[in-house]
Amino acid sequence: MKIVIVGSGGRLGAALAREYSHVASASQPMIVRKLGLGSPSHEFNVVGFNHSQLDLADSEQIHAKVDNLDFDVLINAGALTNVDLCEKEPDLAFQINAESPRVLAEICATKNVKLIHFSTDYVFDGEKREPYQEEDEAKPISVYGESKRAGEENVLAIDNRHLVVRVSWVFGPDRPSFIDAMIKRARESEHVDAVADKFSAPTYTLDIARMLPRFFYGKDAALQRQSGSDRPRTPQRGVPTETDADGGGILHFANAGECSWQEYAQFGLDCCRSLGVPLKARAVGALQLSQMKDWVARRPPYSVLSTEKFFSITGVTPRNWRDAAGDYIKKFYSPK
C-alpha cells in the first residue's frame, strides 16, 4: 500500500511516518516496512512531506507536488495549530486548516483514493461537560477551532467516504507538547503551575499510528481493488457525522479517561520522580482559565472526546491516558 503523509515533520505526522516506514521523505526512495497490528501484517510504501517540502498555504504548490503521485491513501496531519497565532492571522489559519484540506480532498477524489484528515477537540465549545460524540454539534469558540471545523466540512463535502479523525492533547517524542514543557519547567524551577479547570484526554501519537491502518481502505475501495477494477468511484457528497460502511465520516480517537492540565502535569512529575529523573519541583500548583490573561484565543473548558464509536467499529478500547503517558515518559525520560 502506498501512503502519502502531509505534515510528516510535525508531532503526529512524524510518528505516523516512523511507524509506517523507515524513511518518510519525498526526495528519497520509498521504503517498505511491515507493521504488526494484531491482524495480518500490512506493508506500506510511504512518502512524506514536511513544511519545507510542501507549504499548505500554497494551493498551487499542493497540486504541483501531489497531483502526479501514485498512492492509495493520503494522511493529512498538517495544520496551523498555534491557537493564539490563528486568532492573530485568521486568513492564514483558514488557508492552511480549511482550504488546503479541500484541495487535498479534491485530489484524492479525482484519484479514487481515501483521504484521512486529522482534526481537533477544539471544534467544540466545552459547555457540554460530558464526552463529545461525533454527532454533537461543533461550536468552536476560536479562529483555530472555526478553521478546523471548516476543514472538516470541506473534506467531507468533496467525498463523505473520506475520514476525519478528531484527536485531543496529542503528545509524542517528535515535537515537545504540554507534558514535555511541564517536565522541563520542573527540572529548572521549584514552582510549576497548570490550569486546573480545563479538561480533556491526552493522546499518544504511537497509539494513533497503531490504530489508524484499519481505516486505510473503505469497504467499496477494498472490493474494487480485489476485483482489479479501475472503474472510478463516484464521490459521495454530504457531511456525515457517523463513520459509514465505507469507513468515512467523522471518528473520535483519544486515550481513555480525562484529566485537567494540572492533573496531567502532576502525573508527569510523579512518573519522572519514580524513575529517578531529577526535578526541582514536586507539586503542580493550580491556575484558573480566568487567570490566563496572556492568551489571545479562548479555549474550551471541557473537550473530552467519546470513543464509543471507535469501540463499536473495532471492538478495541483505547488504553488509559495514564498508561500511555507513563510509557512515553519511561521510554524518553528514564535516566540512561
Q: Are 253 and 305 in contact (CB under 8 A)?
A: yes
C-alpha distances in Å from residue 139, one per residue of 64, 132, 170, 333: 34, 12, 21, 38
pLDDT at residue number 21: 81
* Whole-angstrom distance, CA of residue 178 vs CA of residue 46: 29
* Whole-angstrom distance, CA of residue 325 vs CA of residue 327: 5
pLDDT at residue number 246: 55
Q: Are 35 and 60 in contact (CB under 8 A)?
A: no
Q: Where are the alpha helices (DSSP H) in the chain?
A: 11-20, 59-66, 83-88, 90-94, 100-111, 143-158, 178-188, 205-211, 219-227, 261-274, 308-314, 321-333
pLDDT at residue number 121: 98
Q: Are 153 and 160 in contact (CB under 8 A)?
A: no
Q: Which residues contact 217 (CB under 8 A, 6 or more apart)?
A: 72, 73, 114, 225, 247
Instruction: Please report, as a single letter, which amino acid is at residue 37.
Output: L
Angle at 20 (CA atoms; ends 18, 24), nearest 5 degrees: 55
Q: Which three cell numbers stand for residue 144?
A: 483555530
pLDDT at residue number 115: 98
Nearest in space to 220 (alpha carbons), one of 161, 168, 277: 161
Angle at 91 (CA atoms; ends 86, 96), nearest 5 degrees: 75
Largest Cα–Cα distance of the chain, in whole Å? Answer: 64
What pairing do the DSSP bridges indicate for beta strands 31-35 and 284-287?
unpaired
3-class SS string, 110-174: HHCCEEEEEEEHHHCCCCCCCCECCCCCCCCCCHHHHHHHHHHHHHHHHCCCCEEEEECCEECCC
CB atoms within 10 A of CB 111: 18
328 tagged catalytic: no
Q: Are 256 and 318 in contact (CB under 8 A)?
A: yes
* DSSP secondary structure string for all residues of 179-195: HHHHHHHHHH-S-EEEE
Q: Which three cell numbers stand for residue 148?
A: 478546523
pLDDT at residue number 217: 75
* Whole-angstrom distance, CA of residue 117 vs CA of residue 164: 5
- Identify any residues that bridge with 47 across adjacent strands, giving them in sequence order: 4
Angle at 175 (CA atoms; ends 172, 177), nearest 5 degrees: 70
Handedness of CA 14, 17, 22, 26 (dihedral sign): negative
* Whole-angstrom distance, CA of residue 206 vs CA of residue 213: 12
Q: Pick the catalytic residue: 20, 122, 132, 144?
A: 144
pLDDT at residue number 28: 42
pLDDT tens-place values along the chain, 336 residues long: 999 999 999 999 999 999 998 433 333 433 334 444 433 346 899 999 999 999 999 999 999 999 999 999 999 999 999 999 999 999 999 999 999 999 999 999 999 999 999 999 999 999 999 999 999 999 999 999 999 999 999 999 999 899 999 999 999 999 999 999 999 999 999 999 999 999 999 999 999 999 999 999 764 443 333 334 443 444 445 444 444 445 799 999 999 999 999 999 999 999 999 999 999 999 999 999 999 999 999 999 999 999 999 999 999 999 999 999 999 999 999 997
Q: Which three cell numbers stand for residue 77?
A: 496531519
* Whole-angstrom distance, CA of residue 106 vs CA of residue 235: 10
